[in-house]
Amino acid sequence: MVAAIIQARMGSTRFPGKSARLLSGLSILEHIINRLQQVSEIDHIQLATTQAKSESSLIEIAKTRKVAVFQGAEEDVLERFIQAGESIGAQHIIRVCGDNPLIDIPLLRSMITAHIESNADYTLPAEPIPLGAGCEVVRLDTLKNIGIHACDMKYREHVTTWFHDHSDKFTITRVDVPSYLRNCNFRLTIDTPEDFALMEEIFSHFNLSSPSSLDLEAVIKFLKSHPEVASLNSNIDQKDWRIKNQ
Closest by CA position to 179, among listed 216, 206, 214, 228: 216
pLDDT of residue 72: 93
pLDDT tens per residue, range 12-58:
777 888 999 999 999 999 999 999 999 999 999 999 999 999 999 99
**Ordered DSSP codes for 27-68:** EHHHHHHHHHTT-TT--EEEEEEES-GGGHHHHHHHHHTT-E
Closest by CA position to 133, among listed 163, 160, 111: 111
pLDDT of residue 15: 86
pLDDT of residue 238: 58
The answer to whether residues 5 and 94 touch, using CB atoms and an 8 Å cutoff, is yes
pLDDT of residue 244: 40
DSSP structure class, residue 19: G
The answer to whether residues 59 and 46 touch, using CB atoms and an 8 Å cutoff, is no
Size (the chain), residues: 246
Q: Spell out the long-range contacts of 208-211 with Cβ–Cβ below 8 A and sequence spacing 24 or more.
A: 210/34, 211/23, 211/24, 211/25, 211/26, 211/31
The answer to whether residues 234 and 122 touch, using CB atoms and an 8 Å cutoff, is no
Q: Which domains are delineated in the chain?
A: 2-230 (3.90.550.10)
- 79 phi-psi bin (left φ>0, alpha ψ -120 to 50, beta other): alpha
DSSP structure class, residue 136: E
CB-based burial of residue 13 (10 Å sphere; 0-12 exposed, 13-18 middle, 19+ buried)?
exposed
The answer to whether residues 202 and 24 touch, using CB atoms and an 8 Å cutoff, is no
Per-residue pLDDT in tens (0 to 9) along the chain, 246 residues = 999 999 999 977 778 889 999 999 999 999 999 999 999 999 999 999 999 999 999 999 999 999 999 999 888 999 999 999 999 999 999 999 999 999 999 999 999 999 999 999 999 999 999 999 999 999 999 999 998 988 888 889 889 999 999 999 999 999 999 999 998 999 999 999 999 999 999 999 998 888 888 999 999 999 999 999 999 999 987 554 333 433
For the question of whether the overall pTM of this predicted structure is more than 0.85, the answer is yes
Cα separation of 177 and 174, whole Å?
A: 9
**What Å distances lie between residue 181 and 58, 211, 221, CA to CA?**
30, 20, 10
pLDDT of residue 241: 38
